[in-house]
Structure formats: structure tokens, C-alpha cells
Structure 1
Amino acid sequence: EYYHASVEQIDSYQGWRIGLPPQWYPTHSNAYYTGVTGGSFTEVSCMGIPSKERLLQAANNRYRNPFGTEVALLRTSEGGMARMAVSWDTPGDHGERGRIRGQKGTFYGKFEGPQAEQQAAISRPPLPPGVQAGGHGGSHGQLMNEFVTAILEERPPLVDIAQALNMTVAGIVAHQSALRDGELLKIPQYKI
């Protein structure tokens, strides 16, 4: 989930963030699931809440988007489900949160469950000299370095075209569902 009130105040090229449909911003929501599992979303029902913020109302933004908050319930390619909430207009605590709950364990800041001793060792490789970690917990530098390294090593990047499409198209379809009052819609699937 991703909550960020007053998104219109964040600097962006030609104000692209102002009125952006919340589910169109996948990096802090859908990408968490697809990036961790390598899976995808197959169908979605999404509800939107019309915004009371002037710049986030349909008549006042380039997207003609009426929603400041969208909450999607998505079916996963593995048969599970995920809830993705993205909001631009709810005051209070903000940021991104990823929680995973399953029958073999739960992860929310730390892993808890009977297989705790089997959890993967997670470490980040060092960045090349002069490369800054960047924002969002250092992910910017790591993503850039991985992409450039993949090109130099002539191998597919960790985030390939299919995974990028599976991250983003689900949000596009979720917004369509919200515009249709939560209609359950199929999500196209991409593979290389």
C-alpha cells in the first residue's frame, strides 16, 4: 500500500503527478508483489473514492480522474490474492508498506512462521565507486546498477519487459475497474 497526501506538492515534470489515477503508480504497490514473487495479477476489482481535493477532481486534472484513493483486490497467478491501496488525499502517516501473509509464514518487517530458519539471506551487492544509493531505501542505485550490469554482461535484467508490464498493466486495469464501480476485470498476462 502507498499513502502520500498532497502528491501535487511533489516536484514532477510538468506536474504529471497532479490527478494521476492512484493505481497507475505501481512502484510502491504492485511492484512489491511482482518483484518478490515473479508472479503476476490475473484479475482485479477496484473501488475508487472521489477526492475532495480541488486538484484531484476530474474537472481539474489532465487525466480526468475523479479518484484520490483507489483500493484494488487482485487475484494472483499463483491462486492467492493481494490488496493494493494507493491514496493521494488521506492525511496522516504516509509511505509504502508491504505485508505478505500466507499459510507458511508472514512478513511485515521481519519473517514469522514455522519455516523462519529457511528464509532467504537477503543482502545488497556493493554499488560501483561514485554511484549513490539514491532514494527509497537505496533502491534507485541498485536498480540502475543491475540494469547497466545486465547490458554489459549481455544477460536479461532482473526486471525485464514482461515483469515491468505485469507490474504496470495491473494498475491500468484496476483503474478501469474503479471507473466501472468495481467490475471484476481480467488482466492481460506477459511472458518472455
Structure 2
Amino acid sequence: MTDPTTVNIAVVGLGFGEDFLPIYRDHPNVGDIGIVDPDIQRLTDIGDRYGVEYRYRDFDEVVADQRWDAIHILAPVKFHADYAIRSMQAGKHCACAVPMATELDELEEILAVQAETGRTYMMMETTVYSREFRGLTALHESGDLGALTLYQGVHMQNLDGYPHYWLGYPPMKYVTHALSPVLQLTGSVVQDVVAYGSGLLTDERHGGEYDNPFPSEVGLFRLSGTDAIADITMSFFQTARPYIEGFNVYGSKRSVEWPALDDDPMRMFELLPLDPAQPDTGLRGRRSSIATLEFDDGGTLLPESLVKFVQPYQVPTSGGGTTTKVPAHGGSHPHLVHEFISSIVEDRSPMIDAATSAAWTAPGICAHQSALQDGERIAVPRY
């Protein structure tokens, strides 16, 4: 970096990467922006839409170009580990979409390269930067949640029609969205996991690159430093349910449940005192009040130029008009970008650094191993 306050960054993979381009463009500490995609039409359309001058069809070209201080990897999962390693070996800081990798040895190699090169690595886990998690954190830090008694994470998404490389993808190897909130909330790591596959993939959903017979996987994750258990359900095929990616958190004072449908609010329950008149009425047990969890977009945490990206915003189209973009993942994207860029400029580790990324990714790899071994308990490595 010739200017320590300016980061030149290349975005690799425009299927998802397009969502980040306007945020990088408007970040006060970002200079040049490059884009990489093998689809020439997509590269042209998106490059023109956002006024990006530097365009590449091949990762080898961008990683060899000394112009770039950092690379944001949003390519298919199978490239994550290799691209991250090669980026850091080329002297570039690295942000990477989840998961960090799909095998334990890949995690170890990324950690080794990061330590050797001293480059920044950040896994861009959206859930812990979402407005919903921000509301949960405030409830926890105030003590209003009480002691954590149970955590349930869920990610259900039908991948039929997705590109071929998703065929047969093991759901637990994408566990970070469902699991990371409890790890961040409690500061814990997973000690061990017992998991099972549920259902069997139909023949037409095999044929991908993965050794996986299950459309769904369910796991119980034992955590360090807390008596609570994380109960995680992951499903990518053969399950009739609209997309959901969320969490339920149960405490001794209050609890929070993710809405069943997108338009519903997050519910908060507060345990009420035991009614002394219950024996006379024949009712039993303690009741809970029902309210809506309050949270905000965290705009005060962002540079002024990025605040607009936490709500629907306008972007130009290739035809000269505009279209409305609705922020995905709880408005987390500008917060992720700001944390990554700030960590580079301030020469510090990002919140989700390499060790944390490995600690949040490895449990899913171990959970799939457990499912393949009919629920054998698998210890999760420490990082």
C-alpha cells in the first residue's frame, strides 16, 4: 500500500459480488476497484453499471497484478481455500465469503499462510453483523436475556436449479450462518458435535463433487464456557419450506425467536412471575409475555457515505435507468466492508480473523463427518 489510508481492492465473482461493489465504491478508504468473472457478458454489464475500469476474466491475472492491496473472494465455495491462500501469498489482504474452506486440512493451510505472510484474513460472515443479531446482543449485554439455556440455529434453502457445483453439497459444511451467532454471543467455541443425516438425496441430486447422501443434517454442538447446547438444522434439498436463515435464543429471563416468514417481526418473550392464584384456576406453570424485539441498522457505526446501504437503495442499470436493491442478510454488507477495510487501514486484526473463521467453520466439517459415521461424537479442533 503506497497510501496507508487507501485500499485498492478486487472483487472476485460477480454473482454475489455485485452487491458489494457500490459499497466499496463509496467507502472513504477505498481507491481503485477491480472485478473478476469468467462470464464476459456479466463482467461487461456490471463493470459498465458501476464504472469499474479494471476487469479480469481469470483469477491468475488479478492475483499477479501489484495494483491490488486486497481481494474479496465471492467465487464458488470450492475455490475459497485456494484463492485465499494464493491471495495472501501474493501479499494481498483477503476477505472471503463463507465458508472458509470445506476440509480441516484446508483450514490449517490458510492459518499457516496467514501467519507466515502477516496479511489480513476475514471470513465475511453476515449473520453476526445483521440488525437482528445487533438487537440480540444488546439484550444479552444488558443482562435482560439472563443465563443462556438453549440455542437453535436453522438454515433451510432449496438449491434445486442452482449451478451444478452445488449438487449434493453437504448442508453442515455451510453451517456458519446458523452457528456463528451463539459463538459470537457467548465467546465460546465448539468442543464436540453429534450429528445425523435426515432423508436421502434422490439420484438426480447426486453427481456433484461431494460425498454426501443427505438432503438435511441435524447436529447438537457442545460449547465451551456455557452449559447451553447449540441445536442446528441445515437443509438444502427436498424440504418444502421457504428460505430461512436464523436463530432462536432462549434465556432464563427472556428469549428471542426468528420469524417464521420474512414479513413477520422477531418475537421476544419475557418470563413472568408465577401467579399465586393458579392452583385455584387449575392452570399450571409460568406464563411469558410476548413483545417485538427492537433493533436498529447500526448506521452510527458506519461512515456517512455507507449508511444508505442498510436500507433499500437505487443503483443504475445498464439501460440508463435505476433499480432498487433491497439489502440482504439483515443489512450486514456495509458493516462487513467497513470492518474489513478499517482493519487494514488501522493495521489490526478484524473481528472475524483467521483463527475465528476456522473456529466457526470447522464444527460444520466435523458435523458432516459425524453424520457420515451414524452420529459418532467428533471432537472439533481448537484454533
Distance 2:162 2:330 in 1: 18
Q: 5+ residue gaps in structure 1?
A: none
Q: 5+ residue gaps in structure 2?
A: 1-153, 258-265, 272-292, 311-326
The structure 1 residue matched to 2:170, chosen from 21, 26, 29, is 21
* Partner-residue secondary structure (3-state), 1:99: strand
Distance 2:204 2:339 in 1: 37
Give, as a single letter, the amino acid of the residue that structure 1 aligns with 2:155: Y
Higher deviation after alignment, 120-129 or 151-160: 120-129
Task: Evaluate the alpha carbon distance shift between residue 42 and residue 120 of structure 1 in structure 2; reply closer, same or farther with a 3 A threshold.
Answer: farther
Task: Evaluate the alpha carbon distance shift between residue 179 and residue 128 of structure 1 in structure 2; reply closer, same or farther with a 3 A threshold.
Answer: farther
Q: Which has the larger radius of gyration?
A: 2
Distance 2:342 2:304 in 1: 10
The structure 2 residue matched to 1:36, chosen from 185, 196, 206, is 185
RMSD: 2.7
1:129-156 superposed Cα distances (whole Å, 9 cap, x missing partner): 2684552122222112111111111222
- Aligned partner of 2:269 in structure 1 is 112
Distance 2:247 2:175 in 1: 13
Distance 1:107 1:135 in 2: 21
**1:34 and 1:166 in contact (8 A); partners too:** no
Amino-acid identity (%): 29
- Aligned partner of 1:74 in structure 2 is 221
Higher deviation after alignment, 62-71 or 36-45: 36-45
| 2:302 paired with 1:126 | yes
- Aligned partner of 1:88 in structure 2 is 236
| 2:369 paired with 1:176 | yes
Distance 2:199 2:303 in 1: 43
Task: Evaluate the alpha carbon distance shift between residue 147 and residue 87 of structure 1 in structure 2; reply closer, same or farther with a 3 A threshold.
Answer: same
Distance 1:104 1:82 in 2: 18
* Deviation, structure 1 residue 110: 4.4
Distance 1:111 1:40 in 2: 26
How many residue pairs are counted as aligned between the two chains? 182
* Deviation, structure 1 residue 161: 1.6
- Aligned partner of 2:98 in structure 1 is none
Give, as a single letter, the amino acid of the residue that structure 2 aligns with 1:61: G
